[in-house]
Amino acid sequence: MKLSELATIKTGLVMARKQAKQPCNEVVRYKQLNLRSIHPDGYIERTYVEDFGAKETLPAEYLTQSGDIVVRLTTPYTAVLIDEEWKGVVVPSHFVIIRPDNRLLPEYLYWLLNTKKIREKLTQNVSSIMIGTIKPKSYACLDIEILSLEQQQRIARLNLLAKKELDLLERLKEQKKLYYETAIDRIQREMRDIEYEKDDKERY
């Protein structure tokens, strides 16, 4: 089945049309996603999420909901899964918002859209006008294999487990790197101290 038969698919908001032109009491404040806030590994980086002042209350269709999949329309075409923590955030027009129905688990679709196979399919439809940009309708036309909800859940759980394990390994790698860098610095300081002591003795 086509993804458009299993989910609603909508491009994000053109921000300039809704942005408050000058500070005033009427400004409606939101958090806003941007390209930098989407990590290539498929999660939102809090540091880069921006504030946005709108001149009016924005339509709910442009605000994230728990269970949404938000995907970059530019390389590397990363998909992120929206949970309770990130609902109510404004999605700009360089993203597409995908809201699956009850036949498709969000966690499964999140995994699927980040697979190499799907990304390769999507890059066949890259816009020639804006190099590296995928047209939103490319997602609508994606062929999705319908698995049972039980099978989808198994894949989603395994993907989550793999991400947790890889994250743990990455943190361990950083800790080891810091440990060895600190150890090397300490050895270098000790060697310099020995050289200084040697020079002092030779002077006297």
In a domain, 99, yes or no: yes
How confident is the model over 45-81, as pLDDT tens digits? Answer: 999 999 999 988 999 999 999 999 999 998 899 999 9
Task: Say yes or no to pLDDT of 6 above 90.
Answer: yes
The H or E element containing residue 128 is none
Lowest mean pLDDT among 101-105, 133-137, 198-202: 198-202
Q: What is the CA radius of gyration of the chain?
A: 24
What does pTM read for this prediction?
0.76
Predicted local confidence at residue 186, as pLDDT: 84
For residues 80 and 121, give the distance between their C-alpha atoms in angstroms, rounded to a whole number: 18
pLDDT band at 128 (very low <50, low <70, confident <90, very high): very low
Does residue 164 lie within any of the structural domains? Answer: no
In a domain, 20, yes or no: yes
- Say which DSSP state 24 is in: -
Residue 163 lies in a domain: no
- Residue 57 CA to residue 26 CA, distance in Å, equals 10
Where in the sequence is the domain holding 114, given as residue range(s)?
3-146
Question: How many domains would you assign to the chain?
Answer: 1
Query: For position 139, which CATH number holds?
Result: 3.90.220.20
Report yes or no on 13 lying in a domain. Answer: yes
| 3-class state of residue 30 by DSSP | strand
pLDDT tier at 23 (50, 70, 90 boundaries)? low
143-161 mean pLDDT: 90
| C-alpha dist (Å) from residue 22 to 2, 145, 179 | 43, 48, 50
Q: Is the pLDDT of residue 179 over 50?
A: yes
- In percent, the amount of the chain with pLDDT more than 70 equals 89
Residue 165 lies in a domain: no
Distances from the Cα of 169 to the Cα of 116, 160, 175, 192, angstroms: 22, 14, 10, 35
Looking at the domain assignment, is residue 189 inside a domain? Answer: no
Q: Is residue 22 in a domain?
A: yes
Distance of CA 143 to the CA centre of its chain: 23
Dist. CA 156–CA 113, nearest whole Å:
12
